[in-house]
Structures are given as structure tokens and as C-alpha cells.
Amino acid sequence: MKEYILKVDSVDEKGLIYRITDIILKHNLNIHSSSEFVDHENGRFFFRAVIKTDNDINESSFLGSLSGFIPNANIKFGMKRKKDIIILATKETHCLGDLLIRHYSGELDANIKAVIANYDDLRNLVEKFEVPFFHISSNDISREDHEKQVLAKMSEYEFDYAILAKYMRILSPNFVAKYPEKIINIHHSFLPAFIGANPYKQAFKRGVKIIGATAHFVNNDLDEGPIITQDVISINHEMSWQDMRKAGRNVERNVLASGLDLVLDDRVFVYDNKTVIF
Amino acid sequence: MKEYILKVDSVDEKGLIYRITDIILKHNLNIHSSSEFVDHENGRFFFRAVIKTDNDINESSFLGSLSGFIPNANIKFGMKRKKDIIILATKETHCLGDLLIRHYSGELDANIKAVIANYDDLRNLVEKFEVPFFHISSNDISREDHEKQVLAKMSEYEFDYAILAKYMRILSPNFVAKYPEKIINIHHSFLPAFIGANPYKQAFKRGVKIIGATAHFVNNDLDEGPIITQDVISINHEMSWQDMRKAGRNVERNVLASGLDLVLDDRVFVYDNKTVIF
Amino acid sequence: MKEYILKVDSVDEKGLIYRITDIILKHNLNIHSSSEFVDHENGRFFFRAVIKTDNDINESSFLGSLSGFIPNANIKFGMKRKKDIIILATKETHCLGDLLIRHYSGELDANIKAVIANYDDLRNLVEKFEVPFFHISSNDISREDHEKQVLAKMSEYEFDYAILAKYMRILSPNFVAKYPEKIINIHHSFLPAFIGANPYKQAFKRGVKIIGATAHFVNNDLDEGPIITQDVISINHEMSWQDMRKAGRNVERNVLASGLDLVLDDRVFVYDNKTVIF
Amino acid sequence: MKEYILKVDSVDEKGLIYRITDIILKHNLNIHSSSEFVDHENGRFFFRAVIKTDNDINESSFLGSLSGFIPNANIKFGMKRKKDIIILATKETHCLGDLLIRHYSGELDANIKAVIANYDDLRNLVEKFEVPFFHISSNDISREDHEKQVLAKMSEYEFDYAILAKYMRILSPNFVAKYPEKIINIHHSFLPAFIGANPYKQAFKRGVKIIGATAHFVNNDLDEGPIITQDVISINHEMSWQDMRKAGRNVERNVLASGLDLVLDDRVFVYDNKTVIF
């Protein structure tokens, strides 16, 4: 069976689900599963349906009918497909390595098109998996020029998402603006706690009993983008900040992988700097 | 605004949501939120909607229209209301006390109509909260006769659910059959682990590193009813089984309270000895 | 058997455990369990032992021997005893009610000597449990004068800890200084996230996926005292900030209760604005 | 600085810590950290210390002194060293791949000496990391003969632990007896729930709301060995058993990795079919 995903978000108004399901029925299709949410504070409607069918759907005809019926909505519709991603990294192995293994085993529902890093350390690991690796050094070069080179390399690829798998550089607003809602970062703290540099040292100093990690979309404000998922682990007084960092790496890799799963499965809407996730 | 809850479960067929939302729209109503799930293995459709409106809805007219349109469905519809519950207990304070406090503060969205216990120990606590307490001793009496007395007392009340808040007696099939999907138990283990007597001793002996609790509907098979919710906590080698029991009490009271919240909010469907929870 | 608790913290030096256990052995006592931790960054040693014995220990003789042997240490030694606590509250029921029930059932290893509140709302609940309740209004009165009255009332009681069970007033440095390491607060967020007013609104606005609560000792800096314990729960886009607050209440009451258990069991050392917990 | 680990377990008697720390002091050594636990039910004493020193310790002299002083104890003492492990696998990638990446990055404190599998599917992955891979087919061969071949291959290596990273074959008592407390398995359920085949199908059918995984030592009784660590995740009615299996894989890899960390760090004692973990 073929699987199609329909995502609709719109100003809320009466009868939206009725109209959407009317079109689905008129195309003789059956909803396999669906979710709906209305943000009543902002008057915003979100809907996602999985449609399974033995026949091909004429996507543009379907989309045309639907758009005519709910003219103010953002509508995404198409056959479920494996997404293409690019990974940006620096030196750390744990998140990148985890994605490479998941990619290799088919657990990650995406093609890793390339890895770009500002150090060469990760080349050996990446090339084991026959994924193109590009070292674009950030030494002896302005931030602007470095970003230009990275963007140039990225522009050689078609991709759905760029994943910052411990890319330890802050992206400029100009860079971010090129890929709105397409850049996903793993932040090594339970945001908004410990924004900024070395959250594990901050956590150690503060004496917290739980640390965490956050997967989020990147926007102009560092560490302020829409949060996709978060998780935590307990820590205790015996742990140095290095122990916390080690423990935190497990959370980081898990949170990045599960956040990516949600995004790659077309389950995430971004709105009002937050996410709606079905 | 008034809040109505619509719950539908039905053999799955094409166009169900369309038909439901058609009726809702024809009654000039707006869906505040809705959820849908199809169990494709069993071909079963589940739908729940919250409808908010300034006007009263003619419930029987609405229900009539809907039933005519989806004739094979179980449909529940009505204004959201505070449910009535009866609590059965034995001697332990933690679950009952938690419910009494939540009841007192308004956190528990239910009226506790009465507490029935097979010991008198809890009378003092219950009567502090002006809740009727009935001691029906199970000493020197057959199980059958004891159940008869308990059922007689219960039959004096109208109630939506009977909560076994550490009621340490096994209910006979005859008793359970009187209240299908209406009796909720808190089981002091992470089912299906440690079925039966003294799960904390069993857990201690087995040397597990996590223990839990389970809120479930009661059916004929002891500890085998549909699970509503579960939670766990970590334990370690330092803990005796009494320590585990003490730690477990926290999980028990939390799991019972959160399971009840789901049931009282009309979020739970029971089907195929499992629950669908929106 | 009688149970004694020994707590030692000291500048770290060679042979501390040897010297401590030497004294214990010379008094013909046996260690039931013990824990040790050295904070190597600060050169600080922490030790706690539970000693069980059939005979009474001459506490001052034991303490004298030990102090002579490790002259620079803070030593606490004594028979395990039920602690006395005073609770400060405002209007909210959930934490206070939970403590009252645990107190009633014997789960809370403490005597609640009194409850002091700046509103009268909680009187009815507290008096159900035959605990003295004092309403000291903060209306039409300066912060200073209000604190004076509260302190005056507190001074009528001997107590080990004062618990802020959702006491919604900020304590002055003067107040805090009177009871160092004796005031415990439950903070309705996962510190250091969402310091300050209405953390649930802040969490909602930020779109986080997890919220939490923190039990901590109170010092001069609001929300900056040594953390005892923390816990979290998952939330999602469907929840309003009021839903989050309701869910958060469960975490708050659990975190306060488990933090208190640690303190009342003499397991907590405070040092360098952090806690060491055995 | 050099780091030594001392592990002692013994029949409990008075003065054990005193005697141990006496010997440590007489060798002019300082305890960096230590933990102690007495299982009073079984009268068993457990002690672990980390000793850091700038000088080499004469291990046999130290061990000799200590053994003379506490003659009935099991004592392990030696410089902390990277352990050697062998991995047994079948076809699944997730646990093995995770260990290979952690090994590659240095996060896993062990040398993977070889991987032995009863299918050839994993060769490509293992050989990427320059780890010897041996395919010993279990087809057309008796269980006994297959085990003989596997044992023969294992005997070519010196190793501390054999890790069953989703090795889908039951080991015979004969096999297990060769490596007591040296074989570690990851079980795809929260033991003792869902012992036996396909726990995810069992969990789906039972309608549980939480699933888990267990890392344990292997002994003669399948799934009955001493548990090292366990973890769980929440699931819901939307998940098929295949979804649960996918979600469960994340728990499996995390639990195996964290269980291994504890073992490799010499933190685990096995006693009475349970573990004591410092």
C-alpha cells in the first residue's frame, strides 16, 4: 500500500475537518489515522492525516480541490518519502556516530547526503559509511567567509533538513534565514536552563540533580528556537562536570535521534516559536 | 461556555469522520479539539471530540441525528459533568488519603459519594472530610456473603466508577460482572511483572532495579484487566522490601490519581482488553 | 534495636575513615551502613554512618572521643529521632494536604508542630488534622512587620525545619539568616529554568516539552539555594498553562515529599551551596 | 596519578572497614572515594574504594596484608585498566553498532577483541571498525556442536566479559558454566515481565503503557540472571508491536551501554543472584 501524508494548518474556522474529510472522501480515500489540534489562544488549526491506498493519488488534483475548499490554509500533501539530510559537525563523535549507525541500519528514515565539519577529525568515521565528508576549516578566516563556504557546499545538495550534530559554532542570522524551519540543533542542556557555553560546568556549579538535552529548530536567537523534544537524566553529588558531560552525551544522542524521527515522519508543525507534534 | 464530550467507537468504515463532522456542523457547533484512532488490526474506529458552545445543545436530537448516520457505532454524548465515585479500601491510607485531599481541594474532578472498607481503621480519616464511611467486616463471613453486603451498600448510591484504593480482596466474577468497565484498581506492581501477592517482596527477591504501579479496569481475571496507566521508579540494592513498599506507595498514589484523571475526563475507551486514551 | 546516625564533614585528610571507624570499634559498635564522599575540588570529606545497637550509647563520651581524634570536623551524632517541623503556606492545598496526610498516616517521619499562613483559607483543612493553624495576614502591613509576627510565632516552637509549602512570599535576608539550612522550599519549576513569577506561564510561552519542580534550602538569593531534589514530567502542545500547572502540582508534591524524606532521614549535607546526599 | 580499585566482599563482622582502612593507611595511601553496603538479611559485607596515588603500589604485598587481616573475604585489587570484551551477536545492528561507535570514540572503556555471530550479516559493519568478525553458522548443526565452535573461537582470546548484543540463541548450562559472572545479556523487556519470545508482541497484546529493557548477567536459567540495570519508556495505543520494537531498541542500546559502563568500571558485585552496584 502507498502512504500519503496530509498536513494542514490554518486560521481556525468552523467546519474545517468536515471540509477536509469531504475532499478525502470525494477522492475515494480512507484516513488511516489523523490528529487535530486547535490553538484557541491564537485561533490556529492544525491537522495531520495519514492516508493509505492501493492506487496512486493525483496529488495536484487533490491539492487543488483542497486548496479551493480551505483557501487560507497551508497545505502539504504527498507520498511519504525518505528525507534527505545534511549534517554539520565539529569534533564530537557521539551524535554523528549514532546517526551514521542508524542510517546504516535503516533505523533513521533519511539519506545522509553529506557531512560538513569545521575540523577534519570526523573524516575517518564518516568515510567508513561511504558518506561524503567535507572539511571547511574555520581557522584564519572570518565567520562570514566561513559561512559563505559552508553555504556554498550545502547549496550543492538538495536536502530537507540540516542537522547540527554538535556543530559548535553559532550561526549568523543570514545563514539561518536561508533555511527557515530546516535547521535542527541538539542543545546540551534542558533549555531554557543553562543557555550558553558549557552547560555541564554550569550545572555542576549550580548543584542541580537533573540534567538534560533539547532538540530544537534554529532561529535567529541562539538557543531560543522552537523546541521539538527534550529529555533528562538524574545526576548526583559524586559526578564531576566531566561525568555529567559523559552522562549528558547519552541524553543528547537520544534526544537528537527521537526529535529527528518526529520531524522525518512529518509530525511536526512550527508555529508561534513552538511546535505542535502529532 | 458549555462543554460537551462526544465519544464514538465503531467498526471502521470509510467516511466516518466526515459523517460525524457533518452532523456537528449541521447543528452549527464547533469542535474545540478532537482525536481519532483506528485499530487496523481489529478494524475498529475511535473518535473523541470536545465541543464548546454558548448555547444548550438538544442532546437527544443531536444523538438521534448521529446514530442515524453511523448506525453501528457506540456513541456517548453529553455535557461534561463531575462524575460520582465510590471508593473501596481496606486499611492503607496513602491512596485513599490522596484522593480525599484532591477531592477536598477540587483537584479530583469527582464527587466521592462513599467509602466502604472491610476494616474500620480508615473511618477517622474519611469522616474528617465529611464523606460517608461504611465498615463491612469480612471476618467470620463467607466471601459470597461479604460481597452481597458490599453490593447492597453500593446499590444505595448512583455512581460512575468504583475505585479500589488498595482494597485487598479479590472480587468474584459475579461482583465484577455487575459493574463492567466501572471498577478501577491500583495494582502495586508494574504489570504483568509480579502478579499476585506481595509484589515488593517478589521484586526484592528478584533484584530488579525498577518497580512500578498500574491502574487498570477490573475484569474477571485478577490483574489481567485493561491497563489505564503505569509508572515506575528506580530502586537500588540498599532498599529492603519495606523500603521498596514505601517508595512504591508514592508511585501507587500518583498512578491511581493520573489514571482517574483520564477516566473522569472521558478520555478512555476500552476495547479488546486494552485502552485507547486520547 | 536502637539506631544512631553519625554525620561528619571535614577538610579532607589521610586516614579519616580509619580514625572514625577506630572510635566506633573502640566503643564496641557496629556500622549498619555507611557512605563516604570526598569533594576533591574543594578538599572536603563527607561521611555518614548508621549504627545499630542493643545498648544505649553514651553520646557525649562518643562525641568527645571522636572530636579529639578529628579536631577540624563538623560532627553530628545522636539517636535517630522524629524531627519537628513548622509549615508556612499561603492558599494552595496540594503540598500542604499531602504533608498532612503523610503526617497522619505516619509516612512522614516528622511532627507537624504548626502551620502558619498569610491567608485563612487553609484553616479548615489543617484543623481537621488537629494541627495548630495560625493566620498572620500580610495585608495592610509592611513586609518587615509581617515577618516579625511570623518569626514571633515561630519562636514559640522548637522545630528542626521550616517548610515553605507553597508559601508565596519572598523571605527577607534577615528572616533567612535566622534559620540557616533549616528552611526548605518547593519551587514550581525545574531550576534554574524559569526563575521568578509564574513559571508555568513562562514554560507555556517558551514551548518546552518537560516541566519540573525543585526542593531546595532557602538562602538569601531567591531560587538560588542548595538543591535537594528535582523531578520532571513530559508535557505537550495540547496543554494550556493551567493544564501545566495542574500537572506540575503532582510533581511539586512528590518532589517536596521526597526531598523532605531525605532531610528528615539525616541524609543531606549542605556545602558550597550544593548538597551531598547519601 | 594512578588509580587503583579495591573490591571486598565478605561475611559481615565487626570492624571490617576499620581493618581495611588500617591497611590502606599503613601503605600510606589515600582513599579517593569509597562505598560500603551490608546485606543484613544475608550477613554479607560489600566495600569498594578508589585509591589514587602518584606512586606504584606493590599489589601483591598490599593484597597479602589485606588478606591476612580479613581472611574470609573475596578481595580484588589492581590498577584500573581497560577491560577486554568479546561480543556475540546475530543479525540486529542497534546494540552492536552502538558499542562499536562508543568503542571507536573512546566512550566505551573496553577493547572489543572480536565479534562472533551466527549470521554473516554484521560482517560489513564490524569490519569497518577493524574489529575481527567471525561467522559461525548455527544452520545444519546441533546446538552442542555450534556452542563447541563458538567456545573454541572464544578460547583464542583473553577477555573479561562476553557481551550478548542481541545474540538470539539460548546458551546451554554447559556454556554458561564456563564463564560465570562474565556473560552479560541485553534482554528486550523489563524483566520479569514478558520473559521468553517476542516481548514486544506480548506487550502489545497485553496493552501495557510502558516497555523496557534489562541488562543482566547470564546464568543457567534463561532471563533469570542477576540484573545490572533496567530502563523503560512510555508507549501508547497508537503503536503497533513493530513501533514498540523500534522504540524499544533505543532503550535496549541505552541500557546495555549503561550496564556495561557499570561493569567495566568495577562497580558491580554479584551475590545471591542480585547485584550490589556502587
Q: CATH number for the domain including B93?
A: 3.40.50.170
Cα distance between residue C269 and residue C76, in whole Å: 11
Chain B, window 194-223: residues with a beta carbon less than 8 angstroms from a chain D beta carbon: 194, 206-210, 212
Greatest Cα pair distance, chain C, in angstroms, is 64
Residues 6+ apart with CB under 8 A from A36: A17, A45, A46, A47, A48, B31, B33, B34, B35, B36
Question: Scanning the structure block, which residue is given the C-alpha cell 448521529?
Answer: B66
Q: Is the ipTM of this complex over 0.90?
A: yes
Residues D23 and D56 in one domain: yes
| Widest pairwise Cα distance in chain A | 64
Best mutation target, C21, C39, C235, C238, to test chain D (most D CBs within 10 A): C21
Does the distance separating the beta carbons of A101 and D97 come in below 8 Å?
yes
Give me the pLDDT at residue A197, please.
Answer: 80
Mutate to test the interface with A, among D33, D102, D130, D277 (most CBs of A within 10 A): D102
Chain A partners of D100 at a C-beta cutoff of 8 Å?
101
What is the least distance, in Å, from the CA of D271 to any CA of chain A?
25
Contacts of C273 (CB under 8 A, 6+ apart): A207, C219, C224, C225, C226
Grid cell 513569577 is found at C197
What was the pLDDT predicted at A3? Answer: 94
The pLDDT, as a whole number, for residue D109 is 97
Chain D residues inside the 8 Å CB shell of B206: 191-192, 227, 274
Last residue of one domain, picked from the residues B59, B79, B99:
B79
Which residues, including other chains, have CB under 8 Å from residue B13's CB and lie 6 or more apart? B45
D186: which strand partners? D215
- Listed in sequence order, the residues at least 6 apart from D76 whose beta carbon sits closer than 8 Å to its beta carbon are D5, D6, D7, D8, D266
Interface check B277 vs D, CB under 8 A:
yes
Of the candidates B18, B25, B37, the beta carbon closest to that of A14 is on B25
D128 close contact with A: CB closer than 8 A: yes
In A, minimum Cα distance to C205 occurs at: A274
What backbone phi and psi angles, to 5 degrees, belong to C241? -70, -25
Answer whether D192 touches C (CB < 8 Å): no
One domain, residues A17 and A149: no
* DSSP secondary structure, B12-72, as one string: --TTHHHHHHHHHHHTT--EEEEEEEEETTTTEEEEEEEEEESSPP-HHHHHHHHHHHSTT
Query: What CA–CA distance (Å, rounded) separates A92 from A121?
Result: 9
Burial of D191 from C-beta contacts in 10 A (0-12 / 13-18 / 19+)? buried
Say whether both D192 and D104 belong to one domain: yes
Closest-CA residue to C153 (of C97, C88, C96): C88
Q: Say if pTM beats, i.e. exceeds, 0.90.
A: yes
Q: Which three cell numbers stand for residue A125?
A: 568515521
* Residues B88 and B165 occupy one common structural domain: yes
Co-location of C93 and C133 in the same domain: yes
Q: Which three cell numbers stand for residue D255?
A: 541500557
Phi/psi of residue A194, nearest 5 degrees? 60, 45
**Does C97 reach chain B within 8 Å, measured CB to CB?**
yes
Residue located via cell numbers 532538540: A215
User: Could you tell me if A33 and A87 lie in one domain?
Assistant: no
* Cα D117 to Cα A97: distance, rounded to the nearest angstrom: 22
- Beta-carbon contacts below 8 Å between A and C: 77
Among the partner-chain residues C41, C193, C229, the one whose CB lies closest to the CB of A193 is C193
Both ends of chain A: CA-CA distance in Å?
22
Amino acid at C260: L
Report CB contact under 8 Å: C249, B107: yes
Contacts of C232 in chain A (CB under 8 A): 210, 212, 232
- Could you count the other beta carbons within 10 Å of the beta carbon of residue D242? 11
Chain B touching partners, 3 or more CB pairs below 8 A = A, C, D
For chain D, the farthest-separated pair of C-alpha atoms sits apart, in whole angstroms, at 64
**Per-residue confidence (pLDDT) for residue C222, from 0 to 100:** 74
Active-site position among D9, D98, D223, D266: D223
Predicted local distance difference test score (pLDDT) of residue C196 = 78
Write phi, then psi, for A126 (nearest 5 degrees): -65, -40
- Whole-angstrom distance, CA of residue B244 vs CA of residue B249: 8
Whether D109 is a known active-site residue: answer: no
Looking at residue A193, its pLDDT comes to 85
**C-alpha distance from C221 to closest chain D C-alpha (Å):** 32
Neighbour-count burial of B201, counting CB atoms closer than 10 A to its CB (0-12 exposed, 13-18 middle, 19+ buried):
middle
Q: Of all helices (H) and strands (E), which one includes residue D228?
A: strand D227-234
pLDDT at A112: 98
Q: CA-nearest residue of chain A to D101?
A: A97
The grid cell for A52 is: 493509505
Smallest Cβ–Cβ distance between C227 and the set A209, A232, A238 belongs to A209
For testing contact with chain D, the best of A121, A128, A242 (most D CBs within 10 A): A128
Provide the CA C159 distance to its chain's centre, in angstroms: 12
Same domain? For A39 and A52 the reply is yes
Question: D218 with D266, same domain?
Answer: yes
Q: What is the pLDDT of residues B108-123, one digit of tens each?
A: 999 999 999 999 999 9
Contact criterion met (CB < 8 Å) for A190 and C190: yes
Of B109, D261, D239, C106, which is closest to residue A250 (Cα–Cα)? D261
Site from A9, A186, A210, A278 to mutate, C interface, most C CB atoms within 10 angstroms: A210
**How high is the pLDDT of residue A194?**
87
Name subunits touching A (3+ CB pairs < 8 A).
B, C, D
Q: Is C93 within 8 Å of chain B by CB?
A: yes
Count the domains in chain A.
2
Give the whole-angstrom CA distance, residue C56 versus residue C75: 19
Chain A closest-CA separation from residue D126 CA (Å): 11
User: Measuring CA to CA, which residue among D147, D174, D262, D158 is closest to residue D216?
Assistant: D262
Interface test with B, best of D237, D262, D270, D271 (most B CBs within 10 A): D237
Check C223, C231, C265, C266 and give the catalytic one: C223
Q: State the DSSP code for D239.
A: -
* DSSP-H helix ranges across A42-156: 59-69, 94-105, 123-128, 143-155
**Record: contact A210-C191, CB cut-off 8 A:** no
Instruction: Answer yes or no: do D223 and D98 share one domain.
Output: yes
Please report, to the nearest 10 degrees, the dihedral formed by the alpha carbons of residues A27, A28, A33, A37 taken in order. Answer: 40
**In the predicted model, what is the mean pLDDT of residues B74-88?**
97
- Read off the pLDDT of residues D172-228 as tens digits, 9 standing for 90 and up: 999 999 999 999 999 999 888 888 788 999 999 999 999 999 999 999 877 889 999
* Radius of gyration (C-alpha) of chain B in whole angstroms: 21
Please state, in angstroms and rounded to a whole number, the distance separating the CA atoms of residues D64 and D61: 5
pLDDT tens sequence for chain A (278 residues)? 899 999 999 999 999 999 999 999 999 998 999 999 999 989 999 999 999 999 889 999 999 999 999 988 999 999 999 999 999 999 999 999 999 999 999 999 999 999 999 999 999 999 999 999 999 999 999 999 999 999 999 999 999 999 999 999 999 999 999 999 999 999 999 888 888 788 999 999 999 999 999 999 999 877 889 999 999 999 999 999 999 999 999 999 999 999 999 999 999 999 999 999 99
Burial (0-12, 13-18, 19+ Cβ within 10 Å), B28: exposed
C-alpha to C-alpha distances, D20 to A77, C24, C62, D71, D88, nearest whole angstrom: 71, 14, 22, 12, 39
The closest CB to that of A101, out of D98, D250, D258, belongs to D98
**Last residue of some domain: A79, A111, A127?**
A79
Q: Is it true that the peptide bond before D192 is cis, omega within 30 degrees of 0?
A: yes
Number of Cβ pairs < 8 A linking chain C and chain D: 46
How many C-beta atoms surround the C-beta of residue B137 within 10 A? 12
Give the SS3 label for residue B169: coil
How far off is chain D from B206, nearest CA to CA, in Å? 7
pLDDT value for A195: 84
Domain end point (choices C79, C103, C121): C79
**Does B23 contact chain D (CB < 8 Å)?**
no
> Which subunits count as partners of chain C given 3+ CB pairs below 8 Å?
A, B, D
Q: B128 phi and psi, to 5 degrees? A: -55, -35
C95: contact with A, CB 8 A cutoff: no
User: What CATH number should be reported for the domain holding residue A44?
Assistant: 3.30.70.260
Packing angle between helix D199-206 and helix D241-264, nearest 10 degrees?
120
Out of B15, B24, B25, whose CB is closest to A25? B15
User: Which helix H or strand E contains C44, and what residues bound it?
Assistant: strand C44-53
Nearest CA in chain A to B14: A30
Q: Does D97 touch chain B (CB under 8 A)?
A: no
Residues D133 and D15 both lie in one domain: no
Burial class (CB in 10 A: 0-12, 13-18, 19+), B232: buried
C191/A207 touch (CB, cutoff 8 Å), yes or no = no
Which residues span the domain enclosing C15? 2-79
Interface of B with C in 32-91 (CB under 8 A): 33
* Active-site position among B54, B98, B121, B223: B223
Average pLDDT over residues C67-73: 92
Q: pLDDT tens per residue, chain D (278 residues)?
A: 899 999 999 999 999 999 999 999 999 998 999 999 999 989 999 999 999 999 889 999 999 999 999 988 999 999 999 999 999 999 999 999 999 999 999 999 999 999 999 999 999 999 999 999 999 999 999 999 999 999 999 999 999 999 999 999 999 999 999 999 999 999 999 888 888 788 999 999 999 999 999 999 999 877 889 999 999 999 999 999 999 999 999 999 999 999 999 999 999 999 999 999 99
Q: Which residues on chain B are in Cβ contact (under 8 Å) with C250?
A: 254, 257-258
Q: How far is CA B62 from CA A231, B4, B7, B31, B66, in A?
A: 44, 11, 13, 14, 6
Select from C134, C127, C112, C114 the least CA-distant residue to C260: C112
Q: Both B150 and B185 in a single domain? A: no
Alpha-helix runs per DSSP H in D44-190: 59-69, 94-105, 123-128, 143-155, 173-178
Average pLDDT over residues B88-116: 97
Q: Are residues C32 and C149 in the same domain?
A: no
Residue of A102, A125, A254 lying closest to D104 (CB–CB): A125
**B24–chain A nearest CA distance, Å:** 8
